[in-house]
Chains A and B, each alone.
Chain A
Amino acid sequence: MAAMDHQDAAALLAEVREVRHRARARVHGGVWLPMVAIAALLLASSVLYRFPFSEPPPDASSVGSAVPSWAGLHDVWTVSAPASYAYWFLGIPALIAAIGGWYALRARRVGMRLRWQWFAAAGLGALALEAVIAAVPVQYNAPDVITDHGNLRTWLTPLWPLVAALIVLGFAERSRGLVVAGAWVGVVTGWNCYFGGYGRIPGWLASVLGGGGPRLGGQVTLFGLDRPGPVLILAAAPLLVVAAIRTPWRSIARGGSRSRPGGPAPDAPDAPDATDAPDAPDASDQGDRA
């Protein structure tokens, strides 16, 4: 091979980076929709609670400790356990199927495919695993099972399959923002599972924030409320922010991306094999020995 000077190498590297950048924008230009859809599912789950954005009236009757928490977050004022169960166990598979359809549509439109099936496997697999664990018969005599951190059932919530799906999708989409947003949903979920409530913090953190005092723990509230609604907003917010950043606004305004400018001919045959008569070689082939 002829010696290559640094200018040629630099130019070639710049070309490769440009090609890679354009390809990346094309193949990952659809990640915004799954993020918005999952955030919408999270936020819409606020209807599973009787008082998602307000304090329960003093005379409101609760349904008792809800373990597993099929509404998503631990709350004693859920509307209906069967409704919560149906929402997630039908909603998550339907959402994953819809997102799969989105990726299939994008593959047809832009001509590039992503390995989104791992995202589906992670979400559905985690959901199935939770259903199996929840079906294991147990006997409960503990009066306050929500705070029984050592019991696996206190950690069961349909939010974990969403966490798994988001993180795996983040890797498939090569989006650090999505991975972090998914992990954040996990942090909020784990926080809620561990403390069995909204916004509770350990004593050491309360001392740090409060500048001293008894280490009995404390409470942080969102918008002045310790209710599921603000917690769901807190969990979903990073997803929406990353989705807004990743949305190809200009492409959407132009009517979406296509494989070629002006769109493909509807019945254009696929490209011929290399055994067909070759075209004239391009200029960069001069000196190519392959």
Chain B
Amino acid sequence: MTVGDGAHPTAALNDTVHHRYRLGILAILDEATECTFIAMRDQLGLTDGNLSRHIRVLEDAGMVVVRKGYEGRRPCTWLRLTPAGLTALREEIAALEQIVARVKKA
């Protein structure tokens, strides 16, 4: 969603993405090709259950891909950002920056 002429920037905020932890998930995945579930959890300071819930939301929205594999003998879950997720992240950041910019202009 993008902001049209005259519309308030909050109209461009995405309900799915507009959450500090989900934004954090997308931002971290934007920096790397893939990230493990454990590394994501440690960077965001979440519990396994909370992170799982947020990732499920993003996965259902087509923004994150979850891949289960193995590192040696240990099972490992890898997370990857989709093009839709990248677009949503950039639009959300742009909308937030517009909100801040409107106040600075006023």
Q: Write the residues of chain A forming the contact surface with B, with a CB cutoff of 8 angstroms.
A: 1, 3-6, 9-10, 12-13, 15-16, 19-20, 22-24, 26-28, 107-108, 110-115, 259-261, 264, 267-274, 276-279, 281-282, 284-285, 288-290
Contacts and interface: CB of A to CB of B under 8 A. Distances in A.
B93 A13 contact: yes
Contacts of A10: 100
Interface residues of B, number: 53
Interface string B11-55: 001011011110110011011111111111111101111111101
B84 interface: no
A108 B71 contact: yes
Contact of A276 (B23, B35, B52, B76): B52
A17 to B, nearest CB: 8
A108 B53 CA distance: 24
A201 B30 CA distance: 44
Interface in B61-97: 68, 71, 74-78, 93, 96-97
Contacts of A276: 49, 52
Contacts of A4: 10, 13, 99
Contacts of A110: 39
The 4 closest A-B pairs by CB, nearest first: A111-B39, A279-B49, A111-B36, A274-B56
B97 A19 contact: no
Contacts, number: 138
- Interface residues of B: mostly helix, strand, loop or mixed? helix
A13 B23 CA distance: 9
B13 A1 contact: yes
Given A1-B13, A6-B100, A284 B20 contact: yes
29 contacts: A4-B10, A6-B102, A13-B97, A13-B100, A15-B20, A15-B23, A16-B23, A16-B24, A19-B27, A19-B28, A19-B43, A22-B43, A23-B43, A110-B39, A112-B35, A114-B32, A259-B39, A260-B38, A264-B38, A270-B76, A270-B77, A274-B49, A274-B55, A274-B56, A279-B48, A279-B49, A282-B46, A284-B19, A290-B19
B24 A274 contact: no
B53 to A, nearest CB: 6
Given A12-B20, A290-B57, A271 B50 contact: no
A13 to B, nearest CB: 5
Contacts of B44: 19
B7 interface: no
B74 A270 contact: yes
A24 B31 contact: yes
B68 to A, nearest CB: 8
Contacts of B33: 113-115
Given A6-B102, A23-B27, A112 B36 contact: yes
A28 B44 CA distance: 18
Contact of A9 (B27, B39, B99): B99
Given A4-B13, A16-B93, A270-B38, 8 more contacts: A6-B99, A6-B102, A16-B23, A19-B44, A20-B31, A23-B28, A28-B31, A108-B71
A23 to B, nearest CB: 4
Contacts of A26: 39, 43
A28 B28 CA distance: 12
